[in-house]
Amino acid sequence: MSSIHIGVVMGSSSDWDTMQHAVQILQQFGVPHEARVVSAHRMPDDMFAYAEAAAGRGLKAIIAGAGGAAHLPGMLAAKTVVPVLGVPVASRHLQGLDSLYSIVQMPRGVPVATFAIGAAGAANAALFAVAMLAADDARLRTQLETFRTQQTELARGMALPPAA
Ligand code: RP5
């Protein structure tokens, strides 16, 4: 059994600015993970090999980010029953709407859990993965509850500037 629980993959190193927000969350929660480039279009054989090996390696979820014609999450999901969490990366010309539609509109039968475009989606995908793992991990559940409590306290402490 692998010690890696979550795989974070992306179509290009240019996705890292976005996808690092997922990795930061996994680091913060102490979740064993890996991060690598696995391009659907430029390395399809590697992508299939990654997906086919995922369950056997003990991965509990794959967070997959891609931009433009973002086939990576859907094609990974086609080759594994390990849950795939898709992150649409903002593209140069259509600002990620193309990525979002490419990832979210999976035909019935092969789901990809799709998150918001960009950094918030990457962070939330990781938080969702943490929540999945927390179902069987009391330490993670406590950490997640503390994280939520801290957010609540931050929001309650938010001050607004005087009206102009
Ligand atoms: C996709 O193409 C990647 O996920 C990336 O978002 C986009 C552009 O890739 P680069 O041209 O920056 O390598 O496959």
Q: Determine the atom of ligand 1 nearest the C-alpha atom of 91.
A: 6
Pocket test for ligand 1, best of 8, 9, 12 (most atoms within 8 A of CB): 12
Q: Mean of the pLDDT values across residues 143-155?
A: 98
User: Which token pair is 145?
Assistant: 């509850």
Query: Is the distance from the beta carbon of residue 15 to the nearest atom of ligand 1 less than 6 Å?
Result: yes
How does residue 133 score in pLDDT terms, banded at 50, 70 and 90?
Answer: very high
Average pLDDT over residues 132-152: 98
Q: Is the ipTM of this complex over 0.95?
A: yes
Q: What is the pLDDT of residue 120?
A: 98
- Asked if residue 68 has its Cβ within 6 Å of ligand 1, the reply is yes
Of ligand 1's atoms, which has the minimum distance to the CA of residue 41? 14
Q: Which residues of 38-48 are buried (b: 16+ CB within 10 A; e: fewer)?
A: bbbeeeeeebb
Query: Is 86's C-beta closer than 6 angstroms to any atom of ligand 1?
Result: no
Q: Summarize pLDDT for 7-59 with one digit per residue, the tens.
A: 999 999 999 999 999 999 999 999 999 999 999 999 999 999 999 999 999 99
* Ligand 1 centroid from CA 57, angstroms: 27
Look at residue 145 in the predicted model and tell me its pLDDT: 98
pLDDT per position as a tens digit, 73-105: 999 999 999 999 999 999 999 999 999 999 999
Break the chain into its structural domains and give their ranges. Answer: 6-156
The whole-number pLDDT of residue 146 equals 98
- Does residue 2 carry a pLDDT above 60? no
- 22 Cβ partners below 8 Å, 6+ apart? 8, 63, 65, 87, 122, 123, 125, 126
pLDDT, position 106: 97
The string of DSSP codes covering 69-126 is: S--HHHHHHHT--S-EEEEEEPPTTTTTHHHHHHHH-PPTTS--EE--SSHHHHHHHH
Q: Give residue 64 CA to ligand 1 midpoint distance, Å.
A: 13
- Largest Cα separation within the chain, whole Å, is 60
Residue nearest to atom 2 of ligand 1 (CA): 67
Q: Which CATH architecture has domain 6-156?
A: 3-Layer(aba) Sandwich (3.40)
